Amino acid sequence: MTTVIRAATRGSTLARWQTDHVAALLRAVDPEVVVEVVVVETLGDRRQDIPIWEMGGKGVFAKEVQAAVLDGRADIAVHSAKDLPSGSPDGLGIATVPERGDPRDVLVGSTLAALAPGAMVATGSARRRAQLAWTRPDLTFTGLRGNIDTRLAKAADYGAIVMALAPLVRLDLLDWVAEVLEPEVMVPQVGQGTLAVECRTGDAPDEVALRARLARIEHRPSRLSLDAERGFLAELGGDCDLPAGAFATVDAEETVSIEGMLASLDGHTVIRQTLVGGASEAERLGRQVARALLDDCGGASLLDR
């Protein structure tokens, strides 16, 4: 019997790719599944002229998509995990996390070493700006917003632009990459490269069955990494306007390692902390890293700058 799942998503090319990818994973484990796409326009999509943090942070790309599930227009919501706040709204939960893509950032237009002294780098991310300023204090910065194509079209206007690698891989745009920035240089954003699928958390039989179906496409190491990173974000109380990042990895024995980063907006101060633990404490590890940065490494003073 055919099972129809309505998937809410943003309308960008990347968002549609992500939803199609989730649909393909679901069909691979159950060929009777049919995914119907419900396109939702978000505040972040409508207002390209305003920095994300001035509109309320990460939720500007998620709230309307989540609302479509809560009000019954859709059964699931497909997100880039990096766009999600640290907690789901009441009635929703992350039901499945497929295998993570590459979490790293890249430079388009020039390598870091080849940038001229004082070169202008375009990025809408305080996290990226602070870490680049730490590595190259001579650089200057300007904001950058828009979809993938819009940002790439502006690359020639600057010394370089900074982007996430995963979308360029997914949209077959790797020819644009001048340099991949390793986590030692640029700690990624929480959830970068990861997809998160939300659905309702109720006890109705159809909701329970849907969660069981979604669980079949879960990639456990990616889930554990995301749990650790979101624990970091939740404890930090931060959002995308905060120069902070976290990157968790999981080995074959399910040992979780997470590095957290917190910086001043100007990049004059960058602090990092790493903790390692078991799978059962992934979220707690993330929270512990955040507390160590805030309480033991002087990070609390950075929040007021």
Domains, in order of start, for the chain: 3-97+194-218 (3.40.190.10), 105-181 (3.40.190.10), 231-304 (3.30.160.40)
Q: What is the pLDDT of residue 55?
A: 45
In terms of pLDDT, which residue wins out, 32 or 145?
32
Cut 0.75: pTM above it: yes
The answer to whether residues 242 and 130 touch, using CB atoms and an 8 Å cutoff, is no
Q: What is the pLDDT of residue 300?
A: 85
The answer to whether residues 278 and 255 touch, using CB atoms and an 8 Å cutoff, is yes
Active site residue 83: yes
Of 8-12, 173-177, 254-258, 282-286, the one with minimum mean pLDDT is 8-12
Average pLDDT over residues 29-58: 71
Q: What is the pLDDT of residue 1?
A: 79
Sheet holding 120-122, edge to edge: 140-142, 120-122, 160-164, 105-108, 177-181
Number of CB atoms found within 10 A of residue 193's CB: 25
* DSSP 3-state percent helix, strand, coil across the chain (nearest 5): 40, 25, 35
**Model confidence over 111-142: pLDDT tens digits?**
999 999 999 999 989 999 999 999 999 999 99
**Model confidence over 52-84: pLDDT tens digits?**
445 455 666 788 999 999 999 999 999 999 999
Average pLDDT over residues 6-24: 96
Binned at pLDDT 50, 70 and 90, residue 46 comes out as low
| φ and ψ of 196, to 5 deg | -130, 130
Catalytic one among 30, 45, 71, 83?
83
